[in-house]
A and B are shown apart, each in its own frame.
Chain A
């Protein structure tokens, strides 16, 4: 029910949202490695998973983010506020990332709404099939060659979904002033 173009669009939208919102600086390196989901998370990943939902009339997206529970990840996000715990930072960053996805999707689907984030045990991810998803994509994301997280995009649709989203390549335009 979800066309390949729509799946590719979801991926492009997520990549752009991750590059701009999961990083503390859009110029930072952001690498994606496709992962199997539900499957074993990277070693050292938190046993807690952050869940957010974007709802539309005919589909919903459940975005889950498992941040690395290691020094590199803590140090990376500590730069934004030393007094914050990684969980607090993850809540805010996850919210921003989901908001960026929402912002891109609203160009194609005018009726959208976004939930607040909620933290669950990472064991819950093993039951994503209970949501009867039409499309699941998981990525192991490495930020600035140090911080790590596992992102899972789960799309449940009640009607055929086909759209093509074009997103600007953030690496090409970040920090550059283009004059024509």
Chain B
């Protein structure tokens, strides 16, 4: 009896143990399922996040690629502009060099033409020489006028002496009268000659003074051109800052 009871007890105990084991197993399975479900959910969430991240990254990569393309295009365009600007700069520099050469030539020509002053000086010296000649002619004419006056006086005295001599001096009187007439004409001629010399003096002086003053005017104008050419050259040579 007792053995049976023990056996029954053991059986119950075994059954209880089995039941307990089954319960534990079911519980473990349930917990495992729950854990798996949670893991699956987390995995799904993580996967969704990763997919979103990948999509965003792909979108950014696509944008960056477009930007790179745009920048590459812009670079090509700028390179082309730069090449054109370089060509224009080259042309400008060539033109500037040409202008500089011209400015130097103008300055050189102006400096060379200033030597005209030597020509003006020569004209002025010729005027002085001409005026000296005129002055000499004035002096000679004055001497001639004095001689003519003297001849007039002598002819007058001769006429008086001829008149005193009466009939004997008649022939001499005619000669004296002729001499007086010639002296009077010489006097008139001398006065006319003096007037001509005065006129000549004024016209010669005014003309040569005009040449002299005109020479200074031209020299000043050339100096002004030379200064302008130098300023222009200096501006062309100045390095851009």
Contact = CB atoms under 8 A, between A and B. Distances in A.
**Main DSSP-derived SS at the B contact region:** helix
A112 B199 CA distance: 26
Given A51-B205, A118-B131, A127 B213 contact: no
Contacts of A130: 199, 202-203
Interface bracket on A: 20 to 34
A60 B206 CA distance: 9
Interface string B194-229: 110011011101100110111111111100000000
Interface in B44-101: none
A51 B208 CA distance: 11
B28 to A, nearest CB: 114
Contacts of A121: 138, 198, 201
B196 to A, nearest CB: 10
Contacts, number: 79
B209 A127 contact: no
A60 B208 CA distance: 12
A53 interface: yes
Interface in A115-142: 115-116, 118, 120-121, 123-128, 130-131
Given A53-B209, A62-B209, A131 B202 contact: yes
Interface residues of B, number: 24
A113 B218 contact: yes
Contacts of B131: 118
A54 B213 CA distance: 6
Nearest to A102: B213
Contacts of A93: none
Contacts of B219: 113
Contacts of A55: 209-210, 213-214, 216-217
6 contacts: A53-B209, A56-B217, A62-B206, A111-B217, A115-B209, A130-B203
A-B pairs, 4 with minimum CB distance: A113-B217, A113-B216, A55-B213, A53-B209
